[in-house]
Amino acid sequence: MRGRKPIPTAIKRARGNPGKRPLNDHEPQPARAIPSCPEFLDEAAREEWHRVTVLLDRSGILSEIDGTLLAGYCQAYSRWQYAERQLQKYGPVVLSPDKKFPLPSPYLAIANKALEQMHKFCVEYGMTPSSRSRVTTVPRRVSNPEDPKNRFFPT
């Protein structure tokens, strides 16, 4: 898809629909929730999962359908962390198998690719300084703020 990313309908409504174009009333509205951590994530990825889900939930932008993308981010984080440790251990340059000339370490490519994948996720979820200005959250609507059950079951 080319051009600007579409602005979600809820955000257009919150802004008063400044473009006055018809709004998409059939846009999916996933429930806000922290997805379950997948079992296949390794230890470093699981730690990052628990760290970042808390932050994204506080920001009000995490929903139950974000699990797959979030798992990909956490795996990339784990891969990046591993590759960086290997780079610290062996350095960014290694000798060729015949030991005749230097080559860039394969861990350098792994670290760079993982960092690129992490960056794409971070931009999508407003986790970089420049992308935060483009992400807007819409508060949950509560039908009757006086009803005590709405503290636990917002609508």
pTM of the model: 0.74
Q: Is the pLDDT of residue 17 over 90?
A: no
* 14 within a domain of the structure (yes/no): no
Count of domains observed in the chain: 1
* 25 within a domain of the structure (yes/no): no
User: pLDDT tens digits for 38-51?
Assistant: 999 999 999 999 99
* 15 within a domain of the structure (yes/no): no
Long-range contacts of 64-71 (CB under 8 A, 24+ apart): 64/30, 64/31, 64/32, 64/33, 64/34, 64/35, 65/30, 65/35, 66/30, 66/35, 67/35, 67/36, 67/38, 69/121, 69/124, 70/35, 70/121, 71/38, 71/40, 71/41, 71/45
* 1 within a domain of the structure (yes/no): no
The residue segments making up the domain with residue 53 are 32-137
* 5 within a domain of the structure (yes/no): no
